[in-house]
């Protein structure tokens, strides 16, 4: 029951508010499965998937890297790429392309790989459709401000007791899970994240384990 509820309530907004959470120390993985290949992180690497965009009401608020989000700048949010990574984004439906800088985290919705600023979305002519199939090409590496840590987000709930029940279940099965408070335009949400894990392959392996329990989620990089 909790599995289905968690899958259906994955948060659809990109995280741009300061959040409050206690993130425990990284713990090792316990599965013998082969991890999926890591997301692109070196110049020339390619990632293909759906893009979305965000503007108001996030304009003027603090992005995950600490700077103020400006919807008129060529920036974007990605769940795992280091901040300051420079990415070429090509809309595969109309062949338009542009270059963005990663400054934020998201999109926190299954099936999307990048959340573009309003200016970027205009450049790619995707304002009307809202989403588009894109190709990302890494042009230059970003900065690594500290040790890498990742978690798998499996749900976002409007009621904390529901989030706590899922968190407790994940702690007993995987040795670590926590709740992150997120203030969205629709009110406070409680994100349940399993982990952390010390590397991207470890986190991807964990995501596959969770998927086998019908807990569809996605990997998120945990920044200082």
Residue 178 CA to residue 190 CA, distance in Å, equals 10
What proportion of the chain, given as a percentage, has pLDDT over 70? Answer: 80
What's the confidence (pLDDT) of residue 20?
A: 34
Render pLDDT for 167-224 as a digit per residue (tens, 0 to 9). Answer: 999 999 998 999 999 887 778 999 999 999 999 999 999 999 999 989 989 999 998 7
Query: Quick one: average pLDDT of 110-128?
Result: 95
Render pLDDT for 27-77 as a digit per residue (tens, 0 to 9). Answer: 333 333 333 444 447 899 999 999 999 988 889 889 999 999 999 999 999
Strand ranges (DSSP E) for 144-203? 150-157, 177-184, 187-197
CB 109 within 8 A of CB 25: no
Confidence of residue 12 (pLDDT cuts 50, 70, 90): very low
Confidence of residue 145 (pLDDT cuts 50, 70, 90): low
Question: At residue 23, does pLDDT exceed 50?
Answer: no
Residue 35 CA to residue 192 CA, distance in Å, equals 22
List the domains of the chain with CATH numbers: 2-33+146-221 (3.30.70.1070), 46-140 (2.40.40.10)
Render pLDDT for 98-109 as a digit per residue (tens, 0 to 9). Answer: 999 999 999 988
Residue 134 CA to residue 73 CA, distance in Å, equals 19
| pTM score, whole prediction | 0.78
Cβ atoms within 10 Å, residue 112: 19
């Amino acid at each position: 029951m909790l599995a289905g509820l968690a899958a259906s309530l994955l948060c659809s907004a990109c995280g741009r508010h300061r959040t409050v959470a206690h993130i425990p120390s990284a713990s090792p993985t316990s599965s013998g499965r082969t991890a999926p290949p890591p997301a692109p992180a070196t110049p020339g690497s390619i990632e293909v998937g759906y893009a979305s965009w965000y503007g108001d009401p996030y304009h003027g608020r603090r992005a995950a890297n600490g700077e103020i989000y400006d919807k008129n700048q060529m920036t974007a949010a990605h769940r795992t790429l280091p901040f300051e990574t420079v990415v070429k984004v090509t809309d595969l439906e109309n062949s338009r392309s542009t270059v963005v800088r990663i400054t934020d985290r998201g999109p926190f919705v299954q099936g999307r790989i990048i959340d573009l600023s309003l200016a970027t979305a205009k450049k790619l002519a995707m304002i009307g459709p809202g989403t588009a199939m894109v190709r990302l090409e890494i042009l230059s590496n970003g900065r690594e401000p500290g040790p890498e840590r990742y978690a798998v987000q499996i749900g976002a709930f409007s009621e904390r007791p529901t989030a706590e029940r899922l968190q407790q279940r994940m702690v007993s099965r995987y040795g670590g899970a926590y709740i992150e408070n997120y203030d969205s335009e629709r009110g406070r949400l409680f994100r349940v994240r399993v982990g952390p894990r010390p590397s991207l392959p470890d986190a991807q392996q964990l995501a596959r384990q969770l998927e086998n329990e019908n807990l569809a989620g996605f990997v998120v990089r945990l920044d200082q």
